[in-house]
A and B are shown apart, each in its own frame.
Chain A
């Protein structure tokens, strides 16, 4: 079946592209360590207009990648992770906008990360890869945009860890963007969020195959990584979503087995999700990205301890969205950032969307979210055009 048949408003075929920088002078990271060369894997959709005023940057969440929408081949069974939102006629309309999405620094789907070859040793970095921050990820994205000749973004949009990058963009490069849309995110992890990340990291590091991160070409710490994913996955759902999806239903059986196999559907589902994850994700990247998310704190990175001061630099129009059943980054955390924006008299809109599926809500089809994002970007685009003339 061709793409047009299975997905009417698809961006169609896309491909990974690569940009390498910091080949001569390494990039000095927030930690003080240096890293280079750095390769960024990215995908683009739509066409940049002559004035360069229609670019949108999408920042992906923890386990996402550059493949935001479309297909890699005609036979590709699955589109990108936000295919419902990105495409011609979709809320992020590729018929109007030029869309860029790149894999984050420290990731494992094309951008330099712990699985990449360390030029100093000709071996994979492993745990010799420096600890990177959300700020480092954003600086890397900025270098990519410079390379693509994009001087101003219509908007930067992303959810969860992607939302942190959106906030970081707004603070780090305030003049480079007209608007920003942080979804289901936070200005800093709560103890609860750090706790779940730490359990995930411990699961990986206590896997007998972990070998201090030096497992490339050998048996990988798949059990630990699968367990980490199972834990993470639960934090993205909600009581309601799990009750509805699984309840106490049994998996392929009518009675309890009185053993420790996956009796319940929810057990079987989590085991499947965990094991599937090990096929596409590197355990070391899990460690590095969760660490970057845990370290993120706009108060300290941008505000000398004050969230209000952190937002003083921001110039972008903001649209903040949270979801009622998100207990990983609950609405009060979005309200706190909105409060800091209000104190700075920023142009900010905020909506808490009623959704039952938990933190994952931003990635799932949602009429309300689609409408808010579509209309917000359209209004920003119209006003940008108005200012240009």
Chain B
């Protein structure tokens, strides 16, 4: 399982309900079902990945994230997960607001556009950044939003949300392995992961 998903899985309480947006082949949900008796649902657009989810016994709906989320009643899930998708969303603020409506807590992960290698690429080469986490050219990238760890923290504050957990990570070996970054995360981490709620719960920094 991808390292960012391993971190996310460790944040989920047993026997909770989870909505995983862009759940792919259902790896995280399958793990949570087996290890934490979580009742999960995935949303996925690809027919092929839907088939992989069903094979794992993961409940999944084919559709567009924004449209599918709208059908759920308020606070239908304990957690809503949006992993490595926020940078591809057209209206992130509206989506996050909607996710906070259907989920008590939301967990968001995204590639950190302020990693030092990206900064150096722009500084020395002058091209739009391209690396293992962001392997696209400017003209074919699905990543239409430039987000950094600092940006997201500021967003949480500005929207009066509560930051419950935060992790900055560096990944290697096809993103399957990695480590937490504690020192200068916005410069040194390839991904940021945040747990956010709109309630008045206590803020915890990990």
Chain A residues in the interface with B (C-beta under 8 A): 317, 319, 335, 338-339, 342-343, 345, 347-354, 368, 371-372, 375-376, 379, 382-383
Known contacts A348-B59, A353-B47, A372-B54; 7 additional CB pairs below 8 A are: A317-B59, A335-B63, A348-B61, A349-B54, A375-B51, A379-B54, A383-B57
Q: Is B15 an interface residue (CB 8 A)?
A: no
**What are 20 inter-chain pairs, A to B, with CB distance below 8 A?**
A342-B61, A342-B72, A343-B72, A348-B61, A349-B53, A349-B59, A349-B60, A350-B60, A350-B61, A350-B62, A351-B54, A351-B60, A352-B47, A353-B47, A368-B47, A368-B51, A372-B51, A375-B51, A379-B54, A383-B57
The secondary-structure label for the interface of chain B is mixed
- Would you call B135 an interface residue if the criterion is a C-beta within 8 Å of the partner chain's C-beta atoms? no
Closest 7 CB pairs of A and B: A379-B57, A375-B55, A350-B61, A351-B50, A342-B71, A339-B71, A375-B54
Chain B residues whose C-beta falls within 8 Å of the C-beta of A383 in the assembled complex? 57
| B176 is an interface residue with CB less than 8 A from chain A | no
User: Assuming the A-B contacts A339-B71, A342-B72, A383-B57, are A350 and B63 also in contact, with contact meaning beta carbons closer than 8 angstroms in the complex?
Assistant: yes
Give residues of chain B (19-74) contacting chain A, Cβ–Cβ below 8 Å.
Answer: 47, 50-51, 53-55, 57, 59-63, 71-73
A319 vs B51: C-alpha distance in the bound complex, in angstroms?
12
Nearest A residue (CB) for B68: A342
Question: A342 contacts which chain B residues (CB < 8 A)?
Answer: 61, 71-72
Q: Name which of B54, B60, B63, B76 has the most chain A CB atoms within 10 A of its CB.
A: B54
Number of interface residues of B (CB under 8 A): 16
Residues on B with C-beta less than 8 A from A379 are: 54, 57
List of A residues within 8 angstroms of B55 by Cβ? 371, 375
Q: Which residue in chain B gives the minimum CB-CB distance to A372?
A: B54
- A339→B61 CA distance, assembly (Å): 10
- Inter-chain contact A352/B62, CB cutoff 8 Å: yes
A55 to chain B minimum Cβ distance, whole angstroms, is: 20
Q: Across the two chains, which residue of chain B brings its CB closest to A319?
A: B54
- B-chain residues with CB within 8 Å of residue A353 when the two chains form the complex: 47
Contacts of A351 in B (CB 8 A): 47, 50-51, 54, 60, 62
Which chain A residues lie closer than 8 Å to B62 at the CB level?
350-352
Could you tell me the distance between the alpha carbons of A342 and B70 in the complex, rounded to whole angstroms?
Answer: 10
* CA distance in complex: A145, B136 (Å): 58
CB <8 Å contact, B54 and A345: no
Closest Cβ neighbor of A338 among chain B residues: B61
Question: B67's closest neighbor in chain A, by CB?
Answer: A335
